Amino acid sequence: MNWLKKQLSKELWSPYMAGALLGIVGILTVILAHALLGASGGFENVAGYIGKAIDPKNVYFNYIMPTGITYSVVLLIGIFFGGMLGALSSGTFKFRRMDDQQWKKAYGKQTWKRWLLLFLGGIVLEYAAGIAGGCTSGLAISGGMLLAPAAFLFIGGMFASGIVTALIVYGKKY
């Protein structure tokens, strides 16, 4: 019991241990919900409200990706509270506008810069997930655990361009 308490209050776990937990959750998701884990799909379900307001006859939001508070949206809300629970358990929950030291070294200290880049980054990530058929959660992890080729094609692309992008951003400091 004490061991468990100690683990729960730790800020960081070994990535192997956290990964094993995610693996078990992945199995449970298939058995209990007959579904997969994911994140980008939930944003699409909510975005449908805006998309259909702009274009009521839109094919995607009417026929392909249903609009509404779906399983994916509830899952996304769960992820939010899971992050909160994790932070509360280690006493690291705190409202903050930006806190990453390495980010400040790479891009500067201005908050607006980070907020702008996260907004633009969010657009790029979600659009790319749409093209690929999922994001790191729904495609790379959920597809990977089923051994779907799509997952590994996606992971390969993601690492290739991620490495090049980090090289450009960090330059000599890479």
Partner 1 sequence: MSLTTILLALILGILFGFALNKAGLTRYTKIVNQFRFKDMSVLKFMMTALVVSMLGLYPLRAMGLITFPSVPETYVVGNVVGGLIFGVGMALAGFCPGTAAAGAGEGKLDYLIPGMLGFLTGAVLFGLTYSSIMPQIKKIADLGPVVIPDLWNLNSFLTVAVFALMALALFYAIDRMGLQRGEKKSK
DSSP 134: S
Min separation Cβ 99 and partner 1, Å: 7
Q: Which residue has the tokens 């070994």?
A: 14
Min separation Cβ 108 and partner 1, Å: 14
134 vs 155: CA distance, rounded Å: 11
Min separation Cβ 105 and partner 1, Å: 8
Min separation Cβ 1 and partner 1, Å: 19
Question: Which residues between 105 and 164 bind partner 1 (CB under 8 A)?
Answer: 105-106, 111, 114-151, 153-163
Question: Which residues between 18 and 47 bind partner 1 (CB under 8 A)?
Answer: 18-40, 42-44, 46-47
Backbone φ, ψ for residue 3 (5° rounding): -60, -45
Size of the residue set binding partner 1 (CB under 8 A): 133
Q: Is residue 32 helix, strand or coil? A: helix
Is residue 9 involved in binding partner 1 (CB under 8 A)? no
Contact pattern for partner 1 over residues 70 through 109, marking x by CB under 8 A: xx--xxxxxxxxxxxxxx----xxxxxxxxxxxx-xx---
Q: Which listed residue (5, 56, 59, 171) binds partner 1 by CB under 8 A?
A: 59
164 vs 30: CA distance, rounded Å: 35
Q: Amino acid identity of 168?
A: I
Taking the least distance from each CB to partner 1, the nearer of 4 and 31 is 31
